Amino acid sequence: MRLKKRQRLILAGIVVLLLGGASALVMTALQDSVAFFATPTDVATGKVAADRRFRIGGLVVPGSIEQVGEGGEVHFTVTDQANEVRVTYTGILPDLFREGQGIVAQGQIRPDGLFAASEVLAKHDENYMPPEAVEALKRAGAWQHDAEAATIGDGSP
């Protein structure tokens, strides 16, 4: 009887170790893919670590979009109406990307202070904006929750 009890205890210990190891591996793998959201004000006040990947959201500043060379590199500025962050992105921008448009970009801050985006997303209709970006725009007094929300900054529908 004691031998069976001991075998069960050893088996239970092995199962717990295997589950703990598998959980640790999953958490380590997910740590690199999780991206937190920050506003331009968070970046300007130093609340975001320079070596951390995160998402930044806000409005594209009118007149700030510029093509750099022929390699598809684009520079633009994102604002939450309180602070601005300069963004660089190489690739094809979404069809809805334009001045005054709400966007979310994922990437990290480079040593020169530029936000290097690996992905840029534009809101898909006039009623969509990430909750964190809406909150930042509300704090800045620039959020309008109606059809005019899509026209902030550019005057077009």
User: What's the pLDDT tens digit per position in 21-52?
Assistant: 999 988 887 766 666 888 888 888 888 877 78
More confident residue, 117 or 69: 117
Percent of the chain that is helix, strand, coil (3-state, to 5):
35, 25, 40
Residue 40: CB atoms within 10 A of its CB come to 26
With CA atoms as reference, report the closest residue to 38 among 1, 95, 82. 82
How much is the pLDDT for 20? Answer: 94
- Asked whether the CA dihedral 59, 62, 67, 72 is positive or negative, the reply is positive
State pTM to two decimals: 0.62
Domain segments of the chain as ranges:
1-34, 36-151
Task: Give dist(CA 119, CA 55) in Å, integer.
Answer: 9
The whole-number average pLDDT for the span 108-128 is: 79
The CATH superfamily label for domain 36-151 reads Nucleic acid-binding proteins (2.40.50.140)
How much is the pLDDT for 122? Answer: 84
**């001991």: which residue's tokens?**
6
User: What's the pLDDT tens digit per position in 11-21?
Assistant: 999 999 999 99
Task: Give dist(CA 53, CA 45) in Å, integer.
Answer: 17
Least confidently predicted of 48-62, 96-110, 127-141: 127-141
Instruction: Give SS3 for 15.
Output: helix
Share of the chain above pLDDT 90, in %: 27
